[in-house]
Structure 1
Amino acid sequence: MIIVTGGAGFIGSNLVQGLNARGISDILVVDDLSDGHKCLNLADAHIRDYLDKDDFLQRIQSGQHLGPVEAVFHQGACSSTTEWDGRFVMRVNYEYTKALLGWTTEKRVPFYYASSASVYGNGTVFKESREHERPLNAYAFSKFLFDVHLRPLLAGIDSPVVGLRYFNVYGPREQHKGSMASVAYHMRQQLHTGNTVRLFEGCDGYGPGEQQRDFIHVDDVVAVNLWLLDNPQVRGIFNCGTGRAQSFNEVAQAVIAHHQRGQLEYIAFPEHLKGRYQSYTQADMGALRQAGYEAPFLSVEQGVQRYMAWLDQRA
């Protein structure tokens, strides 16, 4: 059995699809379905069972037998970068992940968890080392602190443990995320209600819409996770981006090109994001490449086209 926490969420449900594509359906999905819309992400999936995240935690902490477990993909988290209830974020993200690490280590079960590029804050170097990490919000801090917690333990853990620092992931099955969905998704929604795609004006020295991020299609994220499953000798914390920084303007142009209509408009930069916004990210992919991952990553132009076509099919 493979366990996917956050399995009804964005990356988790795509990971379930990736496992299904390999013929794997012995999957336990763990999630919080307080928002019942997320269950639609699993309507076309093949899984064995579902557990609420609190029930799952209680079972592993009480020592209840779950059966033979091949691997745990821990994708569940409070992913809102604007959530400032630090006690809640730390309980859901940090303490929960520590409990899973302890359980998988004891059982010698491979543990693959979602870290985040947000740990780098407003830095200019995105390399997996402490001197480049300075989180700007509670979400980023919770991810950062678990990575810090893990580092000195790695040498003493017998089973595979890998953290992936996801950069700006976009793609299918993110519609439930609301304001936290990708810019590509929101741009499409804007075109469906008008003929204008709106972007932020310049900030941090960047021109209008010229802020740059490392945008990675969720299919590439799934591919990296499944490669780790196939390569249990790989351990550590790795960036998971494309290694390319592309502008929000490029994303907008890709969305407009797919729909063959639309124009750009620039709006004032929100006050509440000033000083807490990553205007530039670009993953240093050297560590993952050195570990042996060789597959190419989709560009914004390729990935957005693939995503828009998927949305067209489900319109």
Structure 2
Amino acid sequence: MKALVTGGAGFIGSNLALELQNKNYEVLVLDDFSSGHFKNLIGFEGEVISGNILDVTEDIVKDVDIIFHQAAITDTTVHDQELMMRINTDGFKKLLNFAVTNNVKFVYASSAATYGDAVSPQKEEYAGKPNNVYGFSKWACDCIAKKYMEKYPENHIVGLRYFNVFGPREQYKGKMASMIWQITKQMIEGKNPKIFKWGEQQRDQVYVKNIVRANLLAQHAKESCIVNAGNGTAVSFNHIVNTLNEILGFNYEPEYIENTYAEFYQDFTQADLTRTENYLGYTPRWNFEDAVRDYTTWLKENKYIH
């Protein structure tokens, strides 16, 4: 089985590429390294192509059995609407066209940002009112995917709406890395962790190992679909601080700050996983606390924290 992972040097893409390799897939990684990093691919032995998804040719795609499309601009603070739509939506459509034309399975990363301020737990039908252009670009992809599913029912197309993913190899995301990484880093540096007032915002924090598993299951989905990929539970920012204090042996008090992104910030996200379990057979294997323990162990082993 030959797989193409776009954005394969990025956070989720690299974890997926390495796991596919572990499962004896022939893996091809495509990345322009705008936000990915070569160190994420240490241990990867497949082919790496440096390039933008807009420049992908059909020759690359037609030689694979499945595409795991992870490449995108994921910085939700980017306000360049044309750039966001061109990379995230136009790039997506180009790859999807290639996949359909060559009968290649297509699994892609959508986002919980498509829900905007929808009530929680978010069900798939609640999407469509995103708060920012990133969420809109992903919603546009979902709309295109739905049309292709109807037009080409014989093809295999699965969209996964990622919630707040954290875990190994996210450190190169900088300001867009998870709250878990940001708070851990501040604690290790001897600082009180900064979180938005008053820390009761709740997010579905899902471990990247759960997300990789969702991708692997998606290639065998009962039928084409767009489903949530989360943990199915929400944790508050205060709980994140308390959990990290306990695991790392600290006793830091949070420093509460104003939320400068309040205009388009999602205060409460939680994935309804009913459809995901039905179509993919997916339930998360890592709960939040165990995932944080596993993650901090990895960070220590790889000397990102001491």
TM-score range normalised by the length of the shorter chain: over 0.9
Asked if 1:213 corresponds to 2:214, the answer is no
Query: 1:286: how far off?
Result: 0.8
Q: For residues 247 and 291 of structure 1, what CA distance do their matches in structure 2 show?
A: 29
**Following TM superposition, by how much is the alpha carbon of 1:296 offset from its aligned partner in structure 2, in angstroms?**
3.5
- Measure how far apart 1:75 and its partner are: 0.1
- In structure 1, stretches of 5+ residues that fail to align are 202-207
Structure 2 Cα separation of the partners of residues 196 and 266 of structure 1: 6
Is the CA contact 1:195–1:261 (under 8 Å) kept in the aligned structure 2? no
Match of residue 154 from structure 1: 149
Amino acid at match of 2:11: F
Partner of 1:49: 48
Give per-residue Cα distances to partners, 1:234-256, cap 9 Å, x unaligned. Answer: 31100001111111112112211
Match of 1:84 among 72, 79, 82: 79
CA positional deviation for 1:68: 2.6
Task: Tell me whether 1:302 sits opposite 2:287 in the alignment.
Answer: no
Alignment partner, residue 29 of structure 2? 29
What is the match of residue 266 of structure 2?
278
**TM-score (normalised: structure 1):** 0.90
Matched, 1:290 2:285: no
Distance 1:116 1:31 in 2: 20
Aligned to 1:179: 175
Q: Deviation digits for residues 100-151 of structure 1, max 9, x if unmatched?
A: 111100101000000000011111141111x543101111110011111221
> What is the CA-CA distance between 1:53 and the residue it aligns to?
2.0
Contact map agreement 1:250 1:300 (CA 8 A) in 2: no
Query: Do residues 224 (structure 1) and 231 (structure 2) align?
Result: no
Residue of structure 1 equivalent to 2:300: 312
Q: Residue type of the partner of 2:48? A: D
Secondary structure of the structure 1 residue equivalent to 2:206: strand
Give the equivalent residue in structure 2 for 1:253.
242
Q: Structure 1 residue 282: deviation in Å? A: 0.6
The Cα of 1:54 is off from its aligned counterpart by: 4.9
- CA RMSD between the two structures: 1.7
In structure 1, the residue matched to 2:16 is 15
Residue 225 of structure 2: aligned partner:
236
Q: Does 1:38 align with 2:37?
A: yes
| TM-aligned CA distance change 1:177 to 1:296, over 3 Å | closer
Identical aligned residues as a percent: 34
Amino acid at match of 1:277: Y
| Structure 2 equivalent of residue 142 of structure 1 | 137
Displacement, 1:20? 1.7
TM-aligned CA deviation for residue 301 of structure 1: 0.8
Q: C-alpha separation between the residues in 2 aligned to 1:28 and 1:151? A: 27
2:119 matched residue in structure 1: 124
- CA–CA distance in 1 between the matches of 2:104 and 2:70? 16
Distance 2:271 2:96 in 1: 25
Letter of the aligned partner of 1:210 in structure 2?
E
Do 2:231 and 2:271's aligned partners in 1 also have CA atoms closer than 8 Å?
A: yes
Measure, in 2, the Cα distance between the counterparts of 1:179 and 1:11. 16
Please give the TM-score of this superposition, normalised by the length of structure 2: 0.93
- 1-structure distance, mates of 2:61, 2:245: 48
Give the conservation status (yes or no) of the 8 Å contact 2:228–2:273. Answer: yes
SS in 2 for 1:123: coil
Between Structure 1 and Structure 2, how many residues are aligned? 300
One-letter amino acid of the counterpart of residue 256, structure 2: I
Picking from 184, 189, 206, the partner of 1:193 is: 189
Question: For the residues of structure 2 that align with 1:140 and 1:9, how far apart are their CA atoms?
Answer: 19
